Structures are given as C-alpha cells and as structure tokens.
Amino acid sequence: MNKINSLFANSADQKLLSLYFCAGCPTLDGTADVILTMQRRGIAMIEVGIPFSDPLADGPVIQSAATQALRNGMTLSKLFAQLAAIKDQVEIPLVLMGYLNPILHYGIEKFCQSCVEAGVSGAIIPDLPFDDYLNIVKPVADRYDLRIIMLITPETSEERIRFIDDHTDGFIYMVSSASITGTQKSFDDAKQEYFRRIDAMHLRNPRMIGFGISNAQTLKAAQDNAAGAIIGSKFVTLLNEADGNADIALDRLFEALKQ
C-alpha cells in the first residue's frame, strides 16, 4: 500500500502533523538529516520542496529558501540522489512539492520513476492544470503508484471539490486562504466557516490544512477540522535560524505550537 494511504488508514483518531522544508536550504547536503530527524521526532509526513526560481504560490520565507537552495546548487537530480541514499531508513510518507516547469524539464515519466526509486509516495504540483493532471500526469503516476495531491481553497466551488475528490487519491490539501504561504496568528470566522463547510461535505479523501499555521490556535483549528495540519513557513524560518540543525528547529517549533 502507498505510504500516504497507509498513514491515513492507520491514523483515524490522530491529529497528524506534516512539515515542509525546501531541499538544499540552508545547506545543500542537509536534506537527509532533516528528514531523518523529523521522522525520529514523530512528524507524520514530510513535504520536501523542489526549489524553483519563480514560486508563485509562496510567500517571502519560502521564496527566499528556494533562492538559497538554487544558489547552493540543488537540482532535482541531486535531490533524488539524496533521497535514494536514505530510502531504506525512511518509514513515513515523503511528498515532493514543486512547480510544473522543473518537472516537465525532467520529464513526467522519469519524474515518477525517480520518485519510486527514491522512496517518494506523492507529489504536489500547485500550478498543474487539472485537465493536464487527468489526461497526462495521472495515467503515468498511477502506473508508479504515486499520489498526485491537489489543492483546494475557500474559493473552490463545491462541484469542483467533489470532482477533485472523485479523481484523486491520498489526501486533499486544503489551503487555509486564497493567498501566498506565510504564518498567521489566528484563523478568522470566514476561514473557520470554510473548514466546517468542507468537513460537512464528507469527502472520500482525508484532508490536511496548510498555509498560515504557526501557533496553538491555528494548529488546533486545523487539526479539529481535518486529519491534520501542514506547517511550512514557520519551520523553514526556524530551520534557517538554527543553521540547518533540525533538532533545534523542532524544539523551537514545538514550543511555539504551545503558545
């Protein structure tokens, strides 16, 4: 069974926590250590960012991380090599998150094959048009048992959400707001209503809520209204401040999530 499906099948009553970091930042060779440390510290699933020069959906923190990673020399080929080297040690799901351009240059078939060889269970491609996903990417990904995760926002129609739910597997990424990534102190009434509205749809796929989670209030809101939460910008900031020491970054993150 794909590790993503296995995670949610065995975690019905748990409040899952997934973290994002950008491969190659703050150091080129730190990817493996960050992943293994997060696994050891109980993180349920890891999103590994593929650095790109024009990350349209990302705020300044992740944009800066991508720029630094590219300056460090990170490439998709290097990332796959780093992941393949620790494949046998990684038991939790790894999900690559990146934009379509680098993946197209690498090749869709080659990308899916490399994911399997490197122990990657899924991919999030924010700028992948859904029609292209259905007609081009999904048939290839299905052959490799790779989950392509789609995003929804407060502006996504119910019809569109149900269509996505019917044609994807793994989980649905609920973006907390129709904006770029970044931390928020709280989720307002409109966002809370969005969470409740989607919950009431009783979708087939489990949901994870991301964008803006950085403290106890936003974490609880996400975990109360979905299978779990995804934290990106906050952890990327802490990892940079800790010069790539994931243990220190996680200590500081867990402390921030209590406040």
Length of the chain as a residue count = 259
Q: If you ran DSSP here, which 8-state letter would residue 135 be given?
A: I
> In sequence order, what are the residues at sequence separation of 6 or more whose Cβ sits closer than 8 angstroms to the Cβ of residue 115?
80, 96, 121, 123, 144, 146
Pairing type for strands 122-124 and 147-149 reads parallel
Return the closest-CA partner of residue 177 out of 196, 155, 193. 155
From 13, 47, 189, 247, active-site residue: 47
Distance CA 168, CA 147 (A): 8
Tokens of 249: 């970054």
Beta-bridge partners for 173: 151, 208
Phi, psi of 2 (to 5 degrees): -55, 140
47 tagged catalytic: yes
From 29, 58, 131, 243, active-site residue: 58
155 tagged catalytic: no
Q: Are the CB atoms for 57 and 20 separated by under 8 Å? A: no
Show which residues are catalytic.
Answer: 47, 58
